[in-house]
Structure formats: C-alpha cells, structure tokens
Amino acid sequence: MILPVRASTCLPAALCLLASCGLAAGDEPKPKPENTISVQLAEPVAAQKFENSPKFWISEVTDRSGNPQPMMVLKERGGIFVDRLPTVIVRNALEQSLKASNLLATDANTADLVMRLYVFQFGLAEGSQLDFFGKVEFTAIVKNPKTGESKEVKASGTSIGQGAVRKKNIQKNVQDSVEASLKDAMRNFLRGQQLKEAVAELRKGTEAAPAATAAP
C-alpha cells in the first residue's frame, strides 16, 4: 500500500534543492591572479612570400564563439582564465607575425589589404578536460580598399597537451596547449594556400603598371 506524501514533507526537501541550486550557481569560477595564465606567441610566425609583398592592416577583431565567459579556458578545478580577451590575444599574435615579416602597414590608410577577423574558438575544445585539447579557430575577411572586393580566409590550429593532477601543472599544460594551437592557427593562416590565392586575386590589376621602355 502506497501512502500519500504530505505537502508539508515535500516542502523542506524542495527548499533544500532550491538552496543547493542557488549555491551551485554562485560557485562559478572567478578569475584571480592564482588561476590566470598569459597566452602569447613565444616568437613570431614567419609568413609565406608574396609577389609584390602587400601591407596588411587589421581593422577589427570580433568574438563569434558565443561563449558567455570567453576568458575562461577551463571550468574545473576552480577555473583557469587567460589574462586578456581572446580577440586581443589573436590580434596581437597576428600583428606580431605580420610586423616580423615586414607585412604590417603603419595604419589603415597605407594598407594594401585590410583584414577583419572573427574568432570562433579559443582555448580548449569541448570535452577535453583530461587531455587539454587546445583549439584556436578564426576567419579573416580580407578586403582591397581600392576595389572594395573581399575574400574569406579560414584558419584553425590544434594541440594536445599532457594531462596533470596538480593545479600548477594543469595550468602550465593548459597554457602550453593553447599557445601551441594559437601558433598552429597563425602558421596555417600566414602560410596557407587560401591566403596566397586571396592576395593574388584581390591585388590583380591594382599594382602599378611597369613603365614603358623608350624606343631606341
């Protein structure tokens, strides 16, 4: 025989459940000096050689990841955060590499090609809390300001880091993995066939014509 459960018995249990849910919501990791890492390129990524080397300018970098906490790269173990927004990290890495290859314009007015970046992934891929699978993915809209034409160039980089148990080791391995995937994404972008073809197509017919040779 099943006895009816009194409402007065259910009420305390329901209140406890709501309290525990509220506590869990309030326990979201927060960035602190001890759980924040700095992700950057150890050295610039050398770009491929272009015919009549163009000068690039990065006009804007937009976050398209849909992540409500874009600076949090790991939620478990109290969370791990980067010290800057992913859009800033990606911009700095690309500008650093373009400058080292003498491909960075001094400003938008002196640029042959202007790029607008969209960052879709930065940090660890979903479900990679154990192997720290780093992933960086972005798309660049490369535009010729003289003609108004533009081309889309996609880039992605990945890296599998080592697992760890201690918090300090976890932070180091996560940082190493994200930095390696950032470098891989920059290498795929700057040395990739997509960018080479986009530059050739966008600059077609816009270079100054060679001077005519005088008749003898």
What are the residue boundaries of the structural domains of the chain, listed by start? Answer: 30-36+54-202
User: For every one of its 216 residues, what pLDDT tens digit does the chain have, with 9 covering 90 and above?
Assistant: 445 545 444 444 443 443 344 334 457 889 999 999 999 999 999 999 998 899 999 999 999 999 999 999 988 878 899 999 999 999 999 999 999 999 999 999 999 999 999 999 999 887 655 568 899 999 999 999 999 999 999 999 999 865 544 567 888 989 999 999 999 999 999 999 999 999 999 998 665 444 444 444
Q: In what order do the strands lie in the sheet with 80-82?
A: 36-37, 80-82, 72-74
> Which CATH architecture group holds 30-36+54-202?
3-Layer(aba) Sandwich (3.40)
- What's this model's pTM, rounded to 2 decimal places? 0.81
